[in-house]
A and B are shown apart, each in its own frame.
Chain A
Amino acid sequence: MYILHIASIPFLLVSFFFFLAATVGLLRFPDFFCRLHATGKGDTLAVLLSLIGLSIYEGFSLTSLKIIFIAVFMFLAQPTSTHAISRAAMRCGLEPWVKNKEEIK
């Protein structure tokens, strides 16, 4: 079954790259809404890919089905929580950051 072990490595590597990109975005973006973009999308994709990679590693058994359930749950739930946070930010009156203030007026 070494073919399954080899086939799951690219998934894990790509997911690690996406995690790295999301975290760098979280640290360096200038505004709150930009950071929300980075962590909402990047984290979700990275978790999805890594869970698919881990379920391929196991082969076709009950454990891999449970891991796919977790992946589906994460796919539906994490964008919802990002949406909830951004809604709360809009209610609090936080304004998005624009580069040139003359373009709005």
Chain B
Amino acid sequence: MGLFALVFLCLYRAVFGPGVLNRIAAISAIGTKTLVILLLMGFIYNRVEMFVDISMVYALLNFIGTITAAKYLEMKGEL
């Protein structure tokens, strides 16, 4: 339950961060916390084999999305 509160705290930085770079870092952090929350939910409901596959896919998507956003900013040349 404590991880939910942490996700909301991170969301604050994602919304209010001055500039777009802070928001990208905050979204990556939210994604990582979501992964752990998914696995814990799998353990609580005793059906852990399903949630392992889902969380691996989400780890991949988080990685690819962050690299894409960073490369787009680098190409644009300015904030």
Kindly state whether residue A27 has any CB partner on chain B within 8 Å: yes
* Number of B residues, CB within 8 Å of A: 41
Chain B residues, CB < 8 A from A97 = none
Q: A19-B6, A26-B26, A78-B32 are in contact. Are A84 and B70 (CB under 8 A)?
A: yes
Q: Do A85 and B29 touch across chains, with their CB atoms under 8 A apart?
A: no
Q: A19-B33, A39-B28 are in contact. Are A81 and B67 (CB under 8 A)?
A: yes
Kindly state whether residue B48 has any CB partner on chain A within 8 Å: yes
For A25-63 the 0/1 string (1 means CB < 8 A from B) is 011000010011001000100110011001001100001
Secondary structure call for the A interface: helix
* Number of A residues, CB within 8 Å of B: 41
Q: A19-B33, A39-B28 are in contact. Are A87 and B74 (CB under 8 A)?
A: yes
Secondary structure call for the B interface: helix
Q: How distant is the Cα of A15 from the Cα of B2 in the complex, in angstroms?
A: 12
Residues of chain B from 19 to 72 with CB closer than 8 A to chain A in the complex: 19, 21-22, 24-26, 28-29, 32-33, 35-36, 39-40, 43, 48-49, 52-53, 55-56, 59-60, 62-63, 66-67, 70-71
Sorted nearest first, the 10 A-B pairs with minimum C-beta distance are A81-B66, A84-B70, A88-B74, A88-B70, A88-B73, A77-B63, A39-B29, A85-B70, A66-B52, A91-B74
